[in-house]
């Protein structure tokens, strides 16, 4: 039977919290969320209060942080750098206010003045000035002894090297928080990713890691900032009578003071300030994890004193935890509008960031495998602002014996089509693009788009009405719509309905390439559709082609070939294609590859520029035809340009071509090259 006495539990909690402290404060690599740590810390506090004989001098409840790293010279703080007690609710704040009144012997109806400061998520530092000159900077460390990081702190622009006064104090110690603004953090990680370097998990880690670099030249390149919030030891000057006035004085000496700091007259004002900071939190240029409230009068602070690790005159009101543990009960797969399958964790409901969460994204199967997530695991759920909650990590030590691996389904949970996976791609997708209910809105919009069947007037809102009203299910249903039915829709009317039906009827006549493009096959754009249309004598021949046959076509590689084969192999897609043909969608018989040209890639090595308008064709369509033949089509003229084809109302590219000695040809020359018959006047 395991030893579960209060003494053994307290010993285990002390060891665990000390481990977490070292990881957080010394190694800058947190092992648990704030919520987990706070819960364990409160449990140990409760045990020590219930059993005073268990309290030890080295308990985490009696000191702050962890010992300094050996790489830096240890620094003894003249005045200990204390931590703060935490509040997690309005009730905790009310208890704090009541204790302040009781200890100061102030009537409960008399409001105490407090100062509300954003609780920055950075690294606490001490700056010591002698006769106005910075002589030493240190981390908080364990509260009594920190690390000498003077050289690194000197690199931060916000840190004054000399005080802005002609009569400086003989000695002045200022406390503050070094942090990394979000913009700088994202820029730092972007550069790290570009050069294959390690990225930081969050701005706090980035700031702490930057301050502990042994080479201050690297620290100087990091986007660090500072806000000061308190005094330590002071000699040779009379300090102001209040905390707020002290901050103003420090600002006058050249120290940066957070402009968001707010004065609060009484408890109700504190509660309102907390709500205001919670609302503006997402819009701040830096991360905060709560609000610190301090009694404003310094004589009151002196009277209130402190307990072993925290002042009685201040408290940190934490925002609701954004990372909490819960049980992963099952996993379902959702299908997005592009066919991507996303694993979604169904969780035992838990409050995260002030919201009850029962679902969280697992992103994709690569992430599931990387994090080794299994059904039955205890997982840490993360939620930040309005971001969709995610499973951040697993607690493997709590994994039950019957935990189950998560398997990717072989068929789409929405339509039963085969799920396609591509080696090297993290996302798996449903292959039933024309049929799948989850993809049908995107499929209809693509089918009707200008470069596909070009159905004028069929926009996103109207497609949504048609689908939600059950008037269509798939793209083939568009050709059965009648004016009387459409006229009953919002903002349609008889005239608009008739116009849309006419546009749909007109779309029946198209080209082979446009039809291929309209199907929405993954990674089959206009140029690839043109290449396919120029390489197959019929749609049946294209649908029957295997990957080897497709890969023989220029610019079609194995991945695109696999997408094409998978699309036409899906019975649902073929059924809708048959329905489209029965509805009258048609095109002229395709010209076989080489019709009007020597080979399918006879223009390889040539570079062309198109400018102006061309009769019956868009520049994109002509560009695709040239690319099918192996040519390169660019948007600018250079000495490497083979020719510029100018249609009606050409732009400045003609003059540039003439200046560069590049031939300028007309529409007739282009159409002749492409074997396009010009329309007679």
pLDDT tens for residues 380-397?
Answer: 998 765 567 889 889 988
HEC string for 347-384? EEEEEECCEEEEEEECCCHHHHHHHCCEECCEEEEECC
The mean predicted confidence, pLDDT, of the chain is 86
**Can you read off the two tokens belonging to residue 360?**
């969280």
DSSP state of 22: I
Distance, in Å, from the CA atom of 232 to the CA atom of 315, rounded to the nearest integer, reads 18
Residues of CATH 1.10.150.20 domain(s) within the chain? 437-582
Q: How confident is the model at residue 65 (pLDDT cuts 50, 70, 90)?
A: very low
Distance, in Å, from the CA atom of 523 to the CA atom of 560, rounded to the nearest integer, reads 6
pLDDT of residue 1: 38
Domain 86-318: give its CATH architecture. Answer: 2-Layer Sandwich (3.30)
Beta-strand relationship, 133-139 and 123-130 = antiparallel
Please state which CATH class domain 323-405 belongs to.
mainly beta
Distance, in Å, from the CA atom of 79 to the CA atom of 242, rounded to the nearest integer, reads 19
8 Å CB contact between 504 and 478 = yes
Q: What is the largest CA-CA distance in the chain?
A: 105
Q: What is the dihedral of CA 465, 468, 471, 472, to 10 degrees?
A: 100
Q: Is the pLDDT of residue 565 over 60?
A: yes
- What angle is formed at CA 646 by the lines to CA 640 and CA 649, rounded to 5 degrees? 135
What pTM did the predictor assign?
Answer: 0.49
The fold for domain 6-62 equals Helix Hairpins (1.10.287)
pLDDT of residue 246: 97
pLDDT tens for residues 324-383?
Answer: 899 999 999 998 877 889 899 999 998 886 678 899 989 888 889 989 999 999 999 987
Q: Which residues are the active-site residues?
A: 119
Which one has a higher pLDDT value, 422 or 420?
420
Q: Domain spanning 437-582 has what CATH number?
A: 1.10.150.20
Among 9-18, 25-34, 76-85, where is mean pLDDT lowest? 25-34
Q: How confident is the model at residue 595 (pLDDT cuts 50, 70, 90)?
A: very low
Q: Is the pLDDT of residue 592 over 70?
A: no
The fold for domain 607-673 equals Rossmann fold (3.40.50)
pLDDT tens for residues 451-460?
Answer: 899 999 898 8
Residues whose CB falls within 8 Å of the CB of residue 577, separated by 6 or more in sequence, listed in order: 434, 519, 539, 543
Residues of CATH 1.10.287.610 domain(s) within the chain? 6-62
pLDDT of residue 580: 96
pLDDT of residue 319: 86
Give the neighbor-by-neighbor strand order of the sheet with 133-139.
Answer: 133-139, 123-130, 171-179, 225-235
Q: How confident is the model at residue 599 (pLDDT cuts 50, 70, 90)?
A: very low
Residues of CATH 3.30.470.30 domain(s) within the chain? 86-318
């Amino acid at each position: 039977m395991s030893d579960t006495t209060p003494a053994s539990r307290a010993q285990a909690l002390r060891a665990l919290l000390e481990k977490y402290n070292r990881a957080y404060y010394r190694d800058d690599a947190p092992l648990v969320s704030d919520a987990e740590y706070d819960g364990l810390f409160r449990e140990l506090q409760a045990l020590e209060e219930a059993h005073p004989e268990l309290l030890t001098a080295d308990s985490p409840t009696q000191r702050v942080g962890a010992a300094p790293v050996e790489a830096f010279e240890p620094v003894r703080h003249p005045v200990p750098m204390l931590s703060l007690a935490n509040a997690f609710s309005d009730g905790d704040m009310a208890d704090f206010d009541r204790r302040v009144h009781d200890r100061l012997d102030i009537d409960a109806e008399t409001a105490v003045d407090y100062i509300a400061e954003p609780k920055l998520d950075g690294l606490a530092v001490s700056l010591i000035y002698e006769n106005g000159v910075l002589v030493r900077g240190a981390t908080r460390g364990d509260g009594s002894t920190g690390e000498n990081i003077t050289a690194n702190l000197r690199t931060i622009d916000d840190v004054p090297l000399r005080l802005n006064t002609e009569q400086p104090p003989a000695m002045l110690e200022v406390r503050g928080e070094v942090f990394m603004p979000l913009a700088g953090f994202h820029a730092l990680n972007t550069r790290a990713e570009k050069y294959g370097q390690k990225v930081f998990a969050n701005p706090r880690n980035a700031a702490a890691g930057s301050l502990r670099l042994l080479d201050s030249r690297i620290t100087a390149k990091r986007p660090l900032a500072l806000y000061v919030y308190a005094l330590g030891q002071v000699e040779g000057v009379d300090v102001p009578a209040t905390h707020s006035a002290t901050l103003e004085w420090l600002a006058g000496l050249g120290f940066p003071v957070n402009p968001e700091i707010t004065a609060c007259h009484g408890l109700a004002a504190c509660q309102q300030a907390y709500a205001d900071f919670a609302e503006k939190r997402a819009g701040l240029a830096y991360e905060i994890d709560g609000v610190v409230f301090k009694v404003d009068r310094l004589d009151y602070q002196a009277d209130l004193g402190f307990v072993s690790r925290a002042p009685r005159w201040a408290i940190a009101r934490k925002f609701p935890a954004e990372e909490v543990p819960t049980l992963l009960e099952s996993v379902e797969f959702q299908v997005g509008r592009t066919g991507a399958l996303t694993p979604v964790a169904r969780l035992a409901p838990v409050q995260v960031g002030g919201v009850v969460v029962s679902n969280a994204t697992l992103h994709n199967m690569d992430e599931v495998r990387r994090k080794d997530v299994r059904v039955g695991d205890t997982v840490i759920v993360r939620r930040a602002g309005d971001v969709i909650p995610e499973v951040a990590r697993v607690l493997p030590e709590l994994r039950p014996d019957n935990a189950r691996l998560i398997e990717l389904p072989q068929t789409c949970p929405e339509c039963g089509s085969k799920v396609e996976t591509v080696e090297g791609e993290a996302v798996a997708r449903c292959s039933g693009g024309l049929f799948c209910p989850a993809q049908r809105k995107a499929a209809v919009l693509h089918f009707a788009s200008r470069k596909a069947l070009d159905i004028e007037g069929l926009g996103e809102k109207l497609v949504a009405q048609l689908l939600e009203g059950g008037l269509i299910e798939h793209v083939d249903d568009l050709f059965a719509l009648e004016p009387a039915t459409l006229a009953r829709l919002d903002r349609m009317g008889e005239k608009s309905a008739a116009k849309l039906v006419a546009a749909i009827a007109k779309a029946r006549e198209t080209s082979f390439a446009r039809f291929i493009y309209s199907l929405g096959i993954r990674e089959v754009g206009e140029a690839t559709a043109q290449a396919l249309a120029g390489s197959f004598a019929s749609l049946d021949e294209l649908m029957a082609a295997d990957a080897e046959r497709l890969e023989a076509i220029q610019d079609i590689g194995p991945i695109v070939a696999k997408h094409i084969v998978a699309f036409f192999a899906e019975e649902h897609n073929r059924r809708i294609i048959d329905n489209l043909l029965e509805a009258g969608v048609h095109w002229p018989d395709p010209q076989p590859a080489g019709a009007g040209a020597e080979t399918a890639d006879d223009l390889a090595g040539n570079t062309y520029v198109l400018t102006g308008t061309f009769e019956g064709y868009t520049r994109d369509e002509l560009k695709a035809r040239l690319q099918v033949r192996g040519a390169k089509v660019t948007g600018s003229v250079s000495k490497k340009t083979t020719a510029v084809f100018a249609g009606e109302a050409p732009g400045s590219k003609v003059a540039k071509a003439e200046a560069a000695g590049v031939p300028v040809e007309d529409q007739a020359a282009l159409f002749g090259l492409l074997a396009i018959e010009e329309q007679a006047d």
